[in-house]
Chains A and B, each alone.
Chain A
């Protein structure tokens, strides 16, 4: 059906919608699915195609595969569905408002879909799916959960976050990577006090200089970050929510870069940013409780944050980024694949191809070299 629909879409939108409406109506022909429902189904199947006609295959992030199963089943079983169920489904599950969304419209002169993205060409360029990570040069197979996690993290970095846009998040990641070879950072790290060395970080910066400095300090000299330094950053105008999200992006980039360095390959290429606005949702349950930043206590993780923590003991490291819950979710995903699943950390028998003792020795040595007390 999708290939037929695409072919008809190429011929014209109104006829494609009309064909689709007929094709997805009950086979018995006793009723036609209401237009809003048709449009919502069309969106599920064709949104990807609308934004990137060059993309083949079903959008893996959509409901399309499941929807097609349902549509085909309903068509063949329409006569057996209770009429009340069919009526309620059409009335309540259609769901596309073509008149009041406020979206930029480019009305089809023939009165077709009515709401069409006017930025299709631009979105096609920047909204492509995140590619699989490039491990060129690795002479070992990378296990599938790591590949999936790296793709997830790259997608997470490129997407609009809670406070930063996708463009800004990619810029933060780029700054984190650049810190690894920054001369100012090297000079500061070698100095008795990082504050004794003045200068400008290497390279051209898309972010304000003070933000770049924060990223570079976290990446290159985390052991000497202090409460005084943090207070100065916040007093300088960086909102604490933006700071926490910046910490998430900076550190996740560092983790992938160190993995690449350890494996012996170039850092994974950063993707093009994805469009869209940050959510700007601050969790009300986040409070100051002994750390520099507000955190959500496990007992207060409810509603939208109910999924943040599992059962049992939740260490502060898993709460540290909870002012920006999506960064916690990203950290969990990262930890699950790079270490052991978070829920199994307390289990001393949890292991991978390395045994647990080897994993812990390596982890502890890395942390000692980073001079991380925690």
Chain B
């Protein structure tokens, strides 16, 4: 979107770094901390993120975490397949990230 290059392997933590996104490494660390069970680590990561993001952007980040904990569970609990159009658009990305290793890939024939 910005015309830059992003290393999407940061999504699966195959590589570290910003993934070409401003504060990307910190956002990934924040996601790791929220999804984990180390409250001290979460508090520290939260403080660091708060220091670099505006209050509004921080709230957005928290909202995103909430949103995708909803839709991930809906997808996995209802067995919906990946839409054919989306599957066609994301084949390379999914292969590079090894997403076929996720159990829920079984819900999409040919994934």
Interface residues of A (CB under 8 A from B): 139-143, 146, 218-219, 222-227, 230, 244, 247-248, 250-252, 254-256, 258-259, 261-264, 290-293, 295, 313, 315-317, 319-321, 331, 334-335, 337-339, 348-349, 352-359, 361-374
Instruction: Tell me, yes or no, whether B22 is within 8 Å of chain A by CB.
Output: yes
Q: Please, how many angstroms separate the alpha-carbon atoms of A193 and B11 in the complex?
A: 26
Q: Please, how many angstroms separate the alpha-carbon atoms of A287 and B99 in the complex?
A: 28
- Contacts A361-B27, A363-B67 supplied; 9 other A-B pairs, CB < 8 Å: A222-B72, A224-B103, A230-B77, A321-B78, A353-B59, A357-B21, A357-B22, A369-B31, A370-B69
Binary CB contact string for chain B from 6 to 23 against chain A (1 if under 8 A, 0 otherwise): 101011110000011111
Counting chain B residues whose Cβ lies within 8 A of the other chain, the interface size class is 35 or more
The answer to whether A263 touches B83 (Cβ under 8 A) is: no
The answer to whether A291 touches B104 (Cβ under 8 A) is: no
Write 13 A-B pairs (CB below 8 A) sorted by A numbering.
A140-B59, A222-B73, A252-B70, A254-B70, A255-B69, A259-B65, A262-B61, A352-B56, A354-B60, A359-B64, A363-B67, A365-B31, A373-B99
The answer to whether A258 touches B34 (Cβ under 8 A) is: yes
Q: Please, how many angstroms separate the alpha-carbon atoms of A113 and B50 in the complex?
A: 58
Q: Please, how many angstroms separate the alpha-carbon atoms of A136 and B65 in the complex?
A: 19
**Distance in Å from the Cβ of B35 to the closest Cβ of chain A?**
4
The answer to whether B21 touches A146 (Cβ under 8 A) is: no
The answer to whether B78 touches A320 (Cβ under 8 A) is: yes
**Distance in Å from the Cβ of A229 to the closest Cβ of chain B?**
10
Partner of B78, one of A141, A244, A353, A354: A244
Q: B79 — nearest CB in chain A belongs to which residue?
A: A292
**Distance in Å from the Cβ of A322 to the closest Cβ of chain B?**
10
**Distance in Å from the Cβ of A281 to the closest Cβ of chain B?**
20
Q: Please, how many angstroms separate the alpha-carbon atoms of A74 and B80 in the complex?
A: 54
Contacting residues, chain A, for B80 (C-beta < 8 A) = 290-291, 295, 316-317, 319-320, 374
- 8 nearest interchain CB pairs? A259-B66, A292-B79, A338-B67, A262-B62, A255-B70, A353-B56, A374-B75, A372-B72
Docked complex: B71-90 residues within 8 A CB-CB of A = 71-83, 85-86
Interface residues of B (CB under 8 A from A): 1-2, 6, 8, 10-13, 19-24, 27-28, 30-32, 34-35, 42-43, 46, 50, 53-83, 85-86, 97, 99-100, 102-108, 111
**Distance in Å from the Cβ of A337 to the closest Cβ of chain B?**
7
The answer to whether B77 touches A218 (Cβ under 8 A) is: yes
The answer to whether A315 touches B86 (Cβ under 8 A) is: yes
Known: A317-B80, A358-B23. A371 touches B67 (CB 8 A): no
Say what secondary structure dominates the interface of chain A. helix
Q: B81 — nearest CB in chain A belongs to which residue?
A: A290
Q: Please, how many angstroms separate the alpha-carbon atoms of A352 and B105 in the complex?
A: 31
Contacting residues, chain B, for A293 (C-beta < 8 A) = 78-79
**Distance in Å from the Cβ of B81 to the closest Cβ of chain A?**
5
The answer to whether A317 touches B59 (Cβ under 8 A) is: no
Q: Please, how many angstroms separate the alpha-carbon atoms of A292 and B56 in the complex?
A: 38
Q: Please, how many angstroms separate the alpha-carbon atoms of A218 and B73 in the complex?
A: 6
Contacting residues, chain A, for B66 (C-beta < 8 A) = 255-256, 258-259, 262, 338
Known: A354-B60, A359-B60, A366-B65. A373 touches B74 (CB 8 A): no
Partner of B1, one of A348, A366, A367: A348
Q: A316 — nearest CB in chain B belongs to which residue?
A: B80
Known: A315-B86, A338-B66, A348-B1. A250 touches B59 (CB 8 A): no
**Distance in Å from the Cβ of A143 to the closest Cβ of chain B?**
6
**Distance in Å from the Cβ of B90 to the closest Cβ of chain A?**
11
Partner of A146, one of B31, B59, B104, B107: B59
Contacting residues, chain A, for B54 (C-beta < 8 A) = 353
Q: A313 — nearest CB in chain B belongs to which residue?
A: B85
Q: Please, how many angstroms separate the alpha-carbon atoms of A250 and B30 in the complex?
A: 24
Partner of A247, one of B64, B78, B105: B78
Contacting residues, chain A, for B50 (C-beta < 8 A) = 139-140
Known: A357-B21, A371-B103. A146 touches B42 (CB 8 A): no
Q: Please, how many angstroms separate the alpha-carbon atoms of A358 and B65 in the complex?
A: 12
Q: A217 — nearest CB in chain B belongs to which residue?
A: B77
Q: A253 — nearest CB in chain B belongs to which residue?
A: B70
The answer to whether B79 touches A331 (Cβ under 8 A) is: no
Contacting residues, chain B, for A251 (C-beta < 8 A) = 69-71, 73-74, 77
The answer to whether A247 touches B74 (Cβ under 8 A) is: yes
